[in-house]
Structure 1
């Protein structure tokens, strides 16, 4: 037995380590289509990304279109609905967190992760039903018996900024009891923010740890701010194609201007 073991040890010693990095996995996702030619330079600024930021970005785009006469087309929602179009014609992609952007760029190999730039932050909040019938005022109220919570979770199969967010908030003070109580009140794990929002109707939930834009733009939701010591921030990042329309860079510059910051702040985006 000693000789085979020795040979195995020698084999391990001389075998080069296999890289398992994002760079090594570019273009290996189920969405990536090597047959699609990336050609976004068509005179229209086209942005693609997950739902959420698109409502504020659209308000900024409307102002910029009025100033410049250039056209902006924004496509948002679940990635499977727009991935082929984005691989062909995206000037700009946005990501709703760093991990979300990194996951996107495994598919969109014409964009580089090093070029992705964080441009805004937003804090976690609690979304409750309009009128706040449960009287939720902060995190501790979510631990009460009978509170029904929906959380957003990618579960390894869906790209969302909400992945692990509830755990970050619930475990922020290092209390295992907080985490257990919160988890005990979860009645639904939804794949994506849109699905989480729909659970208010489907599962009769009371609360959702999410981002300010959702309760801001939905009339049937109300926002409850989390205590500062519970608040977690994640960013909005953008990345520009090297083949983008020249106007795309101009739009990104406007997106962080003072005028645009005022618009973005109306939906909870901070800079």
Structure 2
């Protein structure tokens, strides 16, 4: 569902039919869905789509010069982008579930947030790139301040963005769990299993 919805935002603006190509920029998280959408757009209309993604500082200057469309990973990220870009309109397309990524075969038998609260584990979170405060929003849903303190004391690494977190996950095998958007499992399938977060969170 997520990918097909993103495709709609590419197909909708008919004014692009007069363009020779479309330049699209955004973060790495939604990039797999955007790549698939761009390929379908090119197949249907024959208009090349130049897709650039990754940390914003890598593409910001180019995007300010020639971007036709910019995508973001969250509303937090989008509003930060508005400080750098004259974005004429924006639309939220889908809700992204939060999940826990664990080591392959789940050696710590983590089954959700409750497991992180009860077990002796090392956790990684992203504090930036659209995930500012994400982990505490999730953990704090039950209204227990003690749970926030519990998880905070188990966080072994705060990444500035998801790409940095992915590198840390690869380099540091002592990290047991990674709280992040569920689709990031697709980027690190060879080293992770995915654990859904309980409904109460």
TM-score interval, smaller chain: 0.7 to 0.9
Higher helix content, 1 or 2: 2
Question: How does 1:5-154 map onto structure 2 within 5 Å?
Answer: 43-109=20-86, 111-112=87-88, 115-154=89-128
1:213 to 179, 183, 186: 183
Runs of 4+ more than 4 Å apart = none
State the 1:144 CA deviation: 3.2
State the 1:120 CA deviation: 1.6
Give me the TM-score of the superposition, normalised by structure 1.
0.64
Gap change, CA 1:66 and 1:102, over 3 Å in 2: same
Where do 5+ consecutive residues of structure 2 fail to align? 1-17
Q: Which residue of 2 aligns with 1:223?
A: 194
Q: Which residue of 2 aligns with 1:6?
A: none
Gap change, CA 1:87 and 1:42, over 3 Å in 2: farther
Which structure has more relative contact order (CA 8 Å, sep 6+)? It is: 1
For 2:93, what is the secondary structure of its paired residue? strand
Write the distance in 2 (CA, Å) between the matches of 1:217 and 1:77.
13
Gap change, CA 1:81 and 1:42, over 3 Å in 2: farther
Give me the TM-score of the superposition, normalised by structure 2.
0.86
Write the distance in 1 (CA, Å) between the matches of 2:104 and 2:154.
20
Write the distance in 2 (CA, Å) between the matches of 1:80 and 1:208.
24
Structural RMSD (CA):
1.4
1:164 to 122, 133, 137: 133
State the 1:170 CA deviation: 1.1
State the 1:82 CA deviation: 0.4
Where do 5+ consecutive residues of structure 1 fail to align? 1-40, 155-159, 231-271
Q: Which structure has the bigger radius of gyration?
A: 1
